[in-house]
Structure 1
Amino acid sequence: MIKVGIVGGTGYTGVELLRLLAGHPGAEVVAVTSRKEAGMKVAEMFPSLRGRVDVAFSTPDETPLEQCDVVFFATPHGVAMAQARELLAAGVKVIDLAADFRLKDPAVFQQWYAMEHSCTDLLAEAVYGLPEVNRDAIRAARLVGMAGCYPTSVQLGLLPLLEGGKQLIDTQTLIADCKSGVSGAGRKAEVGALLAEAGDNFKAYAVKGHRHSPEIEQGLSAIHGGPVKLTFVPHLTPMIRGIHSTIYARIKPEALDTDFQSLFEQRYAGEHFVDVLPAGSHPETRSVRGSNTVRIAVHRPGNGDLLIILVVEDNLVKGASGQAVQTMNLMFGQPENAGLDIVPLLP
């Protein structure tokens, strides 16, 4: 049984980890930290976990995290890098759901997250947590920086077109038009997340530049083996969960005869959590709600030179905590789908 610790268990990704791990046959949550809620039973804060999770919150200083096999950081940026070195030295594997170990260049991290990286020596060994791309590296890793929610959808949407240096699309003019539910902003008091502000409304934000942009370009460039440029525009939608990414790619003249539907179907044929829909489909966010599944549809209007890829995921599951559990399974030799074969919720 994998002994699991969770640092920062009161946010949406924290409670989602608790929900998923409560049904995991090979893992047990033995510690959940929160300075503010120390002493409170987890199930008292989250009644949905009554009868499923019996631990209480404890302060990080008083929690023997070094006795865990793995520690998840479901915390704000900057927390994991302050504690990772000590845990790794104790033989504990670390999975960070924030951005501390996503970006390989510490200068880029400082630019986008307005803080200096405190353990740049660990960046070289940190594995990027996108299993469909880095499965083998994750299996051997002791430190993983999980992919962000938007970056997961965009990279999986473009992976079959770029992998192995494929020359199918123009890699310098890619566009990702992405929409997310309000839970993507985290569990905090914020005017923009109020029902009267976010409900019955739709808006773009961070058009000048979003901190996920360098992560997406870093990941796509690594997949392709060369520089990739992408325009990324996020939007806030009046729903709680879900991401819908519409990705536009211009097909190169020499690739116009490619069967892109077959390309996607063949690439993801062995992927448990990626579902390529039949040609002409339009995936909906509600079709993945509460699950670790990504659904993808490939369109080519008028059989022309523009490819449109539609991708949906639950931002809290495949976009965060579910993918983190998927990563834990790989790191500990568990079945990759352990605790994650969840049928989406409908309605």
Structure 2
Amino acid sequence: MTDSAQEPQSRRVDARGAVDLSGFAAAPGASAPAGQAPSAPAAQRPSAPAAAGAPNSWAIAVQPQQLQQVVELSAQAPVIVLIHGADAASATMKSTLEDLVDAQQGRLLLAEIDASAHPELAQSADQVPVATAFIGGRPVGEFDAAVPADQLSQLVTQMVQMATQNGMTQKLPAQSTRVVEGQGPAAEPELPPLHQEALDALENSDYAAAAKAYEQAIKEKPDDEDAKIGLAQVGLLQRTTGADLAAARQAAAENPDDVGAQIAVADLDVLGGHVEDGFSRLVRFIQTHFGDDRETARAHLVELYSITGDTDPRVSASRKQLARALF
């Protein structure tokens, strides 16, 4: 990508970005075993709302073991993985990429890994800082601090253009907020106690406690839409934890009339970033089934819409397909 973002392969990326870095994602305890459902990437997890007045950002700090999930997210939107240190060159490149990525307002994501906190990662890279670009789950280029700011801007633009050409037009939700220069960090908005309780439980992967907190919030305030969405997201995590993807797909194939089997695969698809596949599976079921099973599939599909987000273009497209299936 140092020469052109149109080049689908890069010698440096093939040698390091697709081999050595992925090894960290496969470290013991870092990711789900083969065939098992992965945990939700940052863009799909319930999160606290952005601080009022703070600029939205699409830059997130990640750990090496989260790399595989980040790469999988590039099936939805382009992702730049930046490995940086504590040196001046890293600070400059990090700030420049954050500005460029945030200017795209969700068309791509910047995942930042601090090499100074992970010596083994710093040793793997020839130099730091270094950034690898991913589209569709595959590395498409690599660049370092030697690339001037104006060329970085062109590279980011080219990534967005490549994604658009491949039908990737959705915008990711903001992942964080940025501190405005000259100001202190924006104060975090105070969440309702039960919402905070749910988020604290999620931090500890205690999905049952998170669900209980959201359910109580809805009981106390029936029109609490944030709590309803949070509860739906937690439900997805509960249903897919420890699930065997291969077994779920086989069960769905062998039992096409089993609404539960179809829902199980749809859940795993949505969690894994294959949102359109999950939606389409349930729409097809609704087209060919009637009665209680049809309503069960429809209600579950609507819940998956809320988890994905009503502004997501895939939700809009699927709603039209659902309407045709129903009427």
TM-score, normalised by the number of residues in structure 2: 0.27
**Structure with larger Rg:** 2
Q: Which has the higher contact order (CA 8 A, sep 6+)?
A: 2
More helix by share: 2
More strand by share: 1
TM-score, normalised by the number of residues in structure 1: 0.26
